[in-house]
Amino acid sequence: MQRLRSWISRDPGLALLLLGMILATALYAPTLTTGIVNYDDPWLYRDNFVVQDASWDSIVAIFTDLDPRSPLRHTLAPEYLPVRDLSVMLDFALWGDRYGGFHGTNLVVYLIAIAMVFRMLTAFGLPRVTSGIAVLIFALHPAHAESVAWLSERKGLLGIVFGATAGFAYARYRAAPSTKRAARWLILAALASVAAVWSKAPAAFTIAALAGLELIQPAQRVSWRRSLTGLGVIAVVAVIAYIPVVKLAISVNVIGESIVPGSKAEVVLGVHGFYVRLAGMVMSNAPSYPISSVGPSVIDLVLGAVAMLGALAVFVPRLRAPVELKAGAVLWLVAWLPIGHLVLPLHQVGVADRYALVMVLGFALALATGIRRLSPRLQIALVAVIAIAASVRTLDAQATWGSDLLLWERAVASNPHNLDAWSAYAMQLDAAGMPDEAEQAIEVGLSYGESGRLLLRKALFQMAQGDPDGLATLQRAAEAGEPIAMANLAQLLLERGRRDEALAWGRRASTVGPMIVHTRRSHGMVALATKHAAEALEQFSRALALEPSATNRYNVALALIELGRRDEALPLLVACSADPRIGPRARARLAELRAVR
């Protein structure tokens, strides 16, 4: 024990880092027994045939396919994140479909991120104890539960690992005594910058924070010439790496008009205030927040304005703020830019815990700076209180991502105006054998407004119960723009003999949802039944490209047979004849074709 105390007293900063890593491991150990959740995970993992195939063709597709209409790009998700995709490919190679191993990878990446953040801060010359306190708070912060416990947010963890690595390498570069050694560090910084941008797009702004850290911490700089050269090299490679990322993001409407209601000033200040509250751990963590649906509250606006003035005031020379406080403000402000709706209005998600990963580091660094101004006993007591509070909150937050039902229950509890969340919650209640509660959830959700997805959920319940109003509700969902509802409506109308209407809705479904397998398949089925075999072949072929399954191969074969192209249909039927579900029908068709020949 005496030896341990002696070691801690020699390097308390390192001791705090190790404590943070140990506690983070304990807090997220329960995720190792969980799987995927019904929020992007099925799309990005279970159904992603590209990353499941560790081949050269898949790697080429990951790096070169930038067409959002391409089946391969759609399968990979409409994001250019090759580092994330390669990490998932490696997971499949190692673990198969044992998703506990994937969660283990997330945890390991998070621990590396914690260590690299500490190394970056200390490499820039920030006090080790202050950095240790900041990293301890960072490691235990509940806002990170979304990034660690949710497999689909692997990209954020990779982004901060490589971003911190770039910062550490750049700090070593600017202080290296020899030009040869400096060059090695610059190469590492440049490569890590590219990897960061190709892990998650906002990481480009984390790289940009290096310029701010350079300005506020001149102590270890060898020369301005070297620093400017290094920053220039990193900027050039990061911008080049960012081009395909932003090109794809714009093409799929990730960036556009802000989803958060309110004027530009209200949204910017309100979102900033929201993240201040999130970083301060004064609100429960959830997958959805009211600000995205109803706009910022008065508290958000006031807090956002005050905090913005405070962050900027740190740089006023007369105030003589300590360098570590300035570093915290740099990290906070630069990380806020891509998610604050000022530079890049986010069109699909207004705010999220995962967006605050680097902002929390800036907040933690500022908090640690204040803690270090207290007496030693008060420092220990306050750090202990914060660590315990953060740990309790993190245990609760990470549990949210271990269950589909709990995930969506918390989403609607936090933001009852999120109608799509009500739809997902009702679906999970029904899957859990609670149909009455599911119907009640649908009605509660509809009391806040109507959406195509929620109306679709209601229609499915009505039709399952034989309610004659189900078709009318389904049509309302289709008219509201829900492509799955359009596809289902097309099939029901076909069953009722309303063939022209069925074909019209089938065509509309595949137009509105061109990258959805179900819409393509439904359109094809209606087209085939209405004697539009060439149209059916096109739709079935597109469905097969999106999902290379036995069902889609069989459907393509049917369309080819209808067109008289039986020789082309034969190998497709053979390919799916062993499938346990489609196989019997495929073998029957094969027998018919061979009998005719």
Give CA–CA dist 279/364, Å, rounded: 8
Q: Is the dihedral of CA 467, 470, 473, 477 positive or negative?
A: positive
Average pLDDT over residues 156-174: 96
Helix (H, G, I), strand (E, B) or coil at 466: coil
3-state secondary structure of 85: helix
Q: How far is CA 522 from CA 378, 495, 560, in A?
A: 66, 12, 17
Q: Please work out, in degrees rounded to the nearest 5, the angle formed at the alpha carbon of residue 278 by the alpha carbons of 418 and 202.
A: 85
**Residue 123 pLDDT level (bands cut at 50, 70, 90):** very high
Q: Which of the two residues, 95 and 349, has the higher pLDDT score?
A: 95
pLDDT higher than 80, residue 383: yes
Residue with tokens 């509890």: 413
With 60 as the cut, is the pLDDT of residue 347 above it? no
Is the model's pLDDT at 596 over the cut of 80?
no
- The token pair at 9 is 């007293």
For residues 535-564, give the mean pLDDT. Answer: 92
pLDDT at 65 (0 to 100)? 87
The mean-pLDDT minimum among 253-257, 384-388, 405-409, 531-535 falls in: 253-257
Per-residue pLDDT at 256: 58
Determine the pLDDT at residue 540.
Answer: 94
To which residue do tokens 């209405």 refer?
530
Q: Residues 231-264: pLDDT tens digits?
A: 999 999 999 999 998 888 776 655 556 688 889 8
Tell me what pLDDT residue 493 has.
Answer: 94
Give mean pLDDT, residues 14-19.
Answer: 95
- Select from 510, 412, 398 the least CA-distant residue to 144: 398
Alpha carbon distance 533, 593 (integer Å): 18
pLDDT the model gives residue 261: 87
What's the pLDDT at 1?
A: 65
Residue 175 bridge partners (DSSP): none
pLDDT of residue 430: 93
**Residue % of the chain over a pLDDT of 70:** 97
Confidence of residue 91 (pLDDT cuts 50, 70, 90): very high
Residue 332, CA distances (Å) to 147, 355, 367, 500 in order: 18, 12, 12, 58
- Do residues 248 and 68 touch, judged by C-beta distance below 8 A? yes
The chain-wide mean pLDDT, for the chain, equals 91
* 577: pLDDT strictly greater than 70: yes
Query: What is the arithmetic mean of pLDDT over 492-511?
Result: 94
pLDDT, tens digit (0-9, with 9 covering 90-100), for 400-427: 999 999 999 999 999 999 999 999 999 9
Determine whether 464 is exposed, middle or buried from the number of CB atoms within 10 Å of its CB (0-12, 13-18, 19+). Answer: exposed
pLDDT of residue 495: 92
| Helix, strand, coil abundance in the chain, percent, nearest 5 | 75, 0, 25
**Given this model, what pLDDT does residue 141 score?**
98
**pLDDT above 90 coverage of the chain, percent:** 73
